[in-house]
Chain A
Amino acid sequence: MSAQATDATPRAGGLRHKLPGSLAWHIGSLLILAVILYPVIWVIGGSLKESEDIVGSLDLLPGEPILDNYKSLADGIADISISTFFFNSLFLAVGSVIGIVASCSLTAYAFARIRFAGRNLLFTLMIGTLLLPYHVLLIPQYVLFRNMEMINTYTPLLLGKYLATEAFFVFLMVQFMRNMPKELDEAARLDGCGHFRIYWSIMLPLCRPALITSAIFTFINSWNDFMGPLIYLNEPDKYTVSLGLKMFVDQEGLANYGGMIAMSLVALLPVLAFFLAFQRYLIDGMATSGLKG
C-alpha cells in the first residue's frame, strides 16, 4: 500500500541531464498547488478583512487582520448559538459513523465469507444501488418519514446508515475481506468458532484500515450533507452546520458578509482536521475502490 512506488525510469546521465526535468516538474506542481489552495487561502484571508474589502480587494491577506468577523459569530445566527449547529452536526456524524461501520461490516462479512443461497443475486442488487441516483428515492422516502411523523427528527438522516444502504462502503469492505486468507477462518472453525466469533474476533481487527476509511468518509459526508438536512429539518435549533450556514447566507449574508466568510471557514475546520490527520487512509481507500471495481 506504499504510496511511494514509482513509475519513473531512473534516468542515466548526470545532474546536468536531470535538473531541468525536475525543475519543470516542481514548477508545474507548484502552479497546480496554487490553484488548489487559492480558495482556501482566500477564505482565511477574507475572514480577517473588513466586510467591504473581501470581494473587491485582490490582496489575499489583509494588511491589518481583524478579528471582528469571528467576534460577530459569538452572537450566533438568528439567536441560535453556533455551538448548537456544531453539536447537531457532530451528533449526526458520530451516529452515522457507528451505524455505517456496524451495518456495512456485517453485510460485507456475509458477502465475503458466508456461502448462502441467493448471495450472488443480493450482491448484484447491492451493486445496482451503487449506481442508483439518490433523487429517485428522495420523494418517496420523504413521504414515508412524513407518514411516520419523523419530519424534524434525526431518524430519516440516520436510519439508512444503520441499514447498510451505503453500498460504496459495503463494497469497499467486501473487497478487503475477500483478500484475507481463507486459512484464518478454517483454523477458527476447527477451534469451534461460529460466524459471529470469526467476524468479531478475526475479521473486524484485520479489516481495520477499511473500517477506518469508511468511518472517515462517513464522517465527512455527513458533515457536508446539505440536501438531507434541508429536506428533513425545519426548526433552526435542530439545524446542522451546513444548514445554519445557509440560513446565515439568506438572513444576514449581506449585512454581515465578513461574519459569513468567517463562519464558512469555521464550518470547514473539522473536515480539514480529519483530512490532515487521516489523509493516508482516505487516499488509499479511494485508490482501492477504483482498482478493484
Chain B
Amino acid sequence: MGTTVTHAPAMEGLSQDSEPRHGPVKPERPAALKRRRRRENLAGYLFMSPWIAGFLLLTAGPMVASLYFAFTDYNLFDAPKWIGLDNFSEMFGDPRWRHSVQVTLWYVVVGTPLKLVAALGVALLLAQKRRGQAFYRAAFYAPSLIGASVSIAIVWKAIFSDDAIVDRMQKTFGIDVGGWTGDPDMIIYSLVALTVWQFGAPMVIFLAGLKQVPRELYEAAEVDGAGKLRRFWNITLPMISPVLFFNVLLETIHSFQIFSSAYIVGGGAGGNACGPADGSMVYTCYLYVQGFENSRMGLASAMAWMLLVAVALVTAVLFWSQKRWVHYEEGAR
C-alpha cells in the first residue's frame, strides 16, 4: 500500500533514505514520510534561524524603515514628520547633490573599465606558465586586501600631493598642476588610480577562468591559422565571458559605493570631508555629510534609496545584456 522512498517526489538525489541498517529495504508509509518531511522542515528552519533573524532585523526591517524615512523630515531627536516627496525635490534641485552624482558616475565609468582591463591584461600575462608565476599572482593580489584601509588612503594622499612623486614625474613632461589631491578636477583621478591599483582581486578570478579554457580549442585554431588576436577574440573572450560578467557586475556595484578612501584622501585639516571644492565628493560622502553631520536622516535615506535604484538599474541592464555576450557552457551552471 505505501509508496517506497524512491518513488517519492522531490526526493531524488537527496540523502534522506533511512533504511534500517540491518535487513531489507522496507516500504515506507505515507505517515512516516510526512513525519520525516516535517522533521526536515524543522531542522532547516532551526539551522536558518540566525540568518532569518538577521534578515528581518538588519536587512528587511531597515529597508522598510529607510523607505519610510525617505518621505519624512527626521533629525533623530524629533519624531519623523511626513513631508511627501519634498526630500526628493530638494535632492534633485541641490547642485551639490548633482555634483556628487557626476563625480561618482565619472569615477565608476573611468575607474571600473580601467581596473578590469588591467586585471584581464595581467591575468593573460600570468596565465603563461613561467617561473615565479605564483609569486607574482600573490604579490599583485595584495593591494586588494590593503587598498581599502585608512593607511593606504593616507599614503595615497601623500604620493599624489604637490611635489611628491607623481607631481614630479608630470613636471618632467612639462605639466605642472601642482599635485592631484589639491586640485578639484584631478583628485578624483587619484581615487581612480587607487582602484586600478587594486586590480588583483578581479585578476585572480580571470586567471581561474582562463585556466578552464580547453587547450584543444587553441590548438585547433592554431592549425586553422588563427593569429593571437583572433584567438583572443574568438576563443578566450567568449570562453571567459561568464567570469567577465561576474567581475563587471561586482566591480561596478562596488565602485558606486566607494566611501572610506574618498573620505580620507579628500579629508582636510579644515574638516572638509569631500576634497578641495568637493572634488572627491562621491555619492556616499555626501550621504554621510547630510545624514551624520547635518542630522538630515530623512534626506539621507532618500539619497540612499536613489543609490539603490541606480545600482538595481545597472544590475538589471547587465543581466539583460548578458544574453548577448555571455556564453555559458552547457552543464557549466
Q: Hey, which chain A residues are within 8 Å of B284, CB to CB?
A: 135
Given A133-B256, A140-B63, answer yes or no on A43-B151 (Cβ-Cβ < 8 Å).
Answer: yes
Q: Is B57 an interface residue (CB 8 A)?
A: yes
Q: Is A28 an interface residue (CB 8 A)?
A: yes
Q: Is A179 an interface residue (CB 8 A)?
A: no
- A277–B158 Cα distance when bound, in Å, is 29
Q: Is B156 an interface residue (CB 8 A)?
A: yes
Q: Hey, which chain A residues are within 8 Å of B204, CB to CB?
A: 283, 286-287, 290
Contact yes or no, A227 B259, CB < 8 A: yes
Q: Hey, which chain B residues are within 8 Å of A224, CB to CB?
A: 146, 148-150
Instruction: Fill in one digit per residue for A253-281: 1 if any B CB lies within 8 Å of its CB, else 0.
Output: 11000001100110110011001000100
Q: Is B61 an interface residue (CB 8 A)?
A: yes
Contact yes or no, A165 B308, CB < 8 A: no
**How far is the CB of A70 from the nearest CB of chain B, in Å?**
15
Instruction: Fill in one digit per residue for B172-202: 1 if any A CB lies within 8 Å of its CB, else 0.
Output: 0000000000000000000000000100110
**How far is the CB of A248 from the nearest CB of chain B, in Å?**
9
Q: Is B114 an interface residue (CB 8 A)?
A: no
Q: Is B280 an interface residue (CB 8 A)?
A: no
Chain A residue with minimal CB distance to B290? A139
- A190–B142 Cα distance when bound, in Å, is 46
Contact yes or no, A107 B307, CB < 8 A: no
Chain A interface size range: 35 or more
- A126–B43 Cα distance when bound, in Å, is 19
Given A39-B159, A264-B154, answer yes or no on A287-B205 (Cβ-Cβ < 8 Å).
Answer: yes
- A109–B10 Cα distance when bound, in Å, is 19
Q: Which of A29, A122, A136, A220 contacts B307 (CB 8 A)?
A: A136
- A279–B142 Cα distance when bound, in Å, is 9
Q: Is B269 an interface residue (CB 8 A)?
A: yes
**How far is the CB of B297 from the nearest CB of chain A, in Å?**
5
Instruction: Fill in one digit per residue for A26-44: 1 if any B CB lies within 8 Å of its CB, else 0.
Output: 1011001101111110110
Q: Is B276 an interface residue (CB 8 A)?
A: no
Our count of residue pairs bridging A and B at CB distance below 8 angstroms stands at 309
**How far is the CB of A163 from the nearest CB of chain B, in Å?**
3
A4-12, A75-83, A204-212 - interface stretch: A4-12
B84-92, B95-103, B209-217 - interface stretch: B209-217
Contact yes or no, A143 B76, CB < 8 A: yes
Given A107-B51, A275-B145, answer yes or no on A7-B210 (Cβ-Cβ < 8 Å).
Answer: yes
Q: Hey, which chain B residues are within 8 Å of A159, CB to CB?
A: 58
**How far is the CB of B215 from the nearest CB of chain A, in Å?**
7
Chain B contact residues: over half helix, strand or loop, or mixed?
helix
Tell me which residues from 258 to 298 in chain B have a Cβ below 8 Å from any Cβ of chain A. Answer: 259-260, 263-264, 267, 269, 284, 287-288, 291-292, 297
Q: Is B246 an interface residue (CB 8 A)?
A: yes
Contact yes or no, B208 A290, CB < 8 A: yes
**How far is the CB of A277 from the nearest CB of chain B, in Å?**
12
**How far is the CB of A278 from the nearest CB of chain B, in Å?**
10
Q: Is B44 an interface residue (CB 8 A)?
A: yes
- A162–B58 Cα distance when bound, in Å, is 11
Chain A residue with minimal CB distance to B128? A8
Chain A residue with minimal CB distance to B66? A140
Q: Hey, which chain B residues are within 8 Å of A142, CB to CB?
A: 292
Q: Which of A33, A129, A227 contacts B260 (CB 8 A)?
A: A227
A-B contact pairs, 16 of them (CB 8 A): A7-B215, A22-B130, A36-B143, A39-B155, A39-B159, A103-B54, A134-B257, A140-B61, A163-B53, A165-B59, A190-B19, A224-B150, A242-B149, A249-B264, A267-B151, A287-B207
A-B pairs, 7 with minimum CB distance: A116-B44, A163-B54, A290-B205, A6-B129, A140-B62, A287-B208, A110-B47
What residues make up the interface of A, taking CB atoms closer than 8 Å to B? 3-9, 22, 25-26, 28-29, 32-33, 35-40, 42-43, 46, 54-56, 58, 103, 106-107, 109-110, 113-117, 119, 122, 125-126, 129, 131-144, 146, 159-160, 162-165, 170, 182-183, 185-186, 189-191, 194-195, 199, 220, 223-224, 226-227, 231, 242, 245-246, 249-250, 253-254, 260-261, 264-265, 267-268, 271-272, 275, 279, 282-283, 286-291, 293
